[in-house]
Amino acid sequence: MYHWNTGATSVVEGRFKVNLKPNGTTVVVATGSVVSGAFAGATTVQTKILPNVGLLDCLAPRGMTGAGGPVSMTVTG
């Protein structure tokens, strides 16, 4: 669920694809459809760039507890 600065919300359903780059950067692209709320019926594309994610952290007992980087989102329709 997305919470907009207007107080409105949007529920998006979709899929994501992870692309690992040789320099350790992880790119996550999520595509979906707004199923309810603001922009209902629109399509979305969200791209997250996670530089130098420690992939071995995924194997630790607690797993990866967080990652951060720039995010862009496009809503069309």
3-state secondary structure (DSSP) of residue 74: strand
Work out the angle at residue 64's Cα, subtended by the Cα atoms of residues 58 and 66, and round it to the nearest 5 degrees.
155
pLDDT at 38: 98
**Residues 7-59 pLDDT 10s:** 999 999 999 998 988 787 889 999 999 999 999 999 999 999 988 767 677 78
pLDDT at 34: 98
3-state secondary structure (DSSP) of residue 24: coil
pLDDT at 60: 83
Q: Which is higher by pLDDT, 51 or 73?
A: 73
3-state secondary structure (DSSP) of residue 19: strand
